Amino acid sequence: MSHLFLYFLSLLIALALCAASLPLLRRALAPWLGDAPTKLKNHSGIVPAAGGCAVVLGFFGSLAAVRLLTHFPTGTLTNLRGIFIGGALVFAAGIIDDVKKPAGISPWAKLACQLLAAAVLIHYGISVQFLPQPWGYALTLLWVAGITNALNLFDIMDGLAAGQAVLAAAAFAVISLPYEFIYVNFAAAALAGACIGFLPYNHSAKLKTFLGDSGSNLLGFLLAACALGARYSARSPLAVFAPIIILALPIFDTVFVSLVRISKGISPLKGTPDHFPLRLERAGLSRKTVLCICMAAALVYGILAYIATKAPAPWPAVIYVLTAADLILFGGFLLWKTK
């Protein structure tokens, strides 16, 4: 079987496992994984947060199935062990947090678990490569913890985090495909498939399901891991920053909401309705429109990141400057237009 077929098979298996298991998991886990409305969450009633469990089943089940169906040389898929173990750690911390809501677990306990998961990736050869060690390892820890939390914070509207994950995973897969970074391609395909299987339930009226912290943290961790494996700088060394463009929206939202909270004298860790999608909604846009805008922007940023990896210098730098200017202007517009 060709690698391309196997990647597509990985996506389909993850999609099928997630979609098929979610109704059962939703019903079985509802007593323990329920998300109640709060000042920041205006959904109706308690919504089961079993989406993360279905995503993890689809993702890990897909990779396990592909491993059993293939005969790669010994060591080819070693990196995936790091994703398995690290992902399991992040998911477990998220599940405990979901079960113990509304109090949850300490942010420092979650951060410690994320750093441990990042250390597991490093152990299995997944880390920043464009810096000498130990600086590359230090940046790996920061990157994994930062992106994991960014996706968690971005999960504030139906379809937002999972939709971003689908497009970001697709971008990492397309960029890494010509160079056959096996673990990136399989992980990205399985992640995209699992998220696609989850999205209809996230938007469903009768079977509405949330990702929960277990799901949103897992998405962030997996995207951070995929970002560390693709080859970006074949044409220009500047292209190593392409993952920041691919994940520009969650990164921007995290920075934006943190700065706004600090300016108000509020801890960045305290929840407030300052996320940019919520501000767009307060400006009069429907949630469907906000979601479409975010998806379109993520698609454009993914294309720009791909161009940055294929264009010679100085074009990657031009793309970074234009993207930064775009997001700074957007942030200024939000502060002017919304409160």
Asked if 47 contacts 98 with a C-beta cutoff of 8 angstroms, the reply is no
Which two three-digit tokens encode residue 165? 């994950």
Nearest-angstrom CA–CA distance, 259 and 190: 34
Nearest-angstrom CA–CA distance, 64 and 78: 13
Each residue's pLDDT tens digit in the chain (339 positions)? 577 888 999 999 999 999 999 999 999 998 888 777 666 666 666 888 999 999 999 999 999 888 787 776 655 567 888 999 999 999 999 999 999 887 778 889 999 999 999 999 999 989 998 888 899 999 999 999 999 999 999 999 999 999 999 999 999 999 988 765 677 889 999 999 999 999 999 998 889 999 999 999 999 999 999 999 877 877 888 889 999 999 999 999 999 999 999 998 888 878 888 899 999 998 889 999 999 999 999 999 999 999 999 998 899 999 999 999 999 999 999 998 887
At 47, which helix (H) or strand (E)? Answer: strand 47-48
What is this structure's pTM? 0.94
CB atoms within 10 A of CB 80: 24
For the chain, what are the domain ranges? 1-231, 234-339
Which two three-digit tokens encode residue 113? 């678990």
What spatial distance separates the first Cα and last Cα of the chain, rounded to whole Å? 55
Query: Which of these, 281, 289, 294, lies nearest to 338 by C-alpha position?
Result: 281
Nearest-angstrom CA–CA distance, 60 and 190: 8
CB atoms within 10 A of CB 177: 16
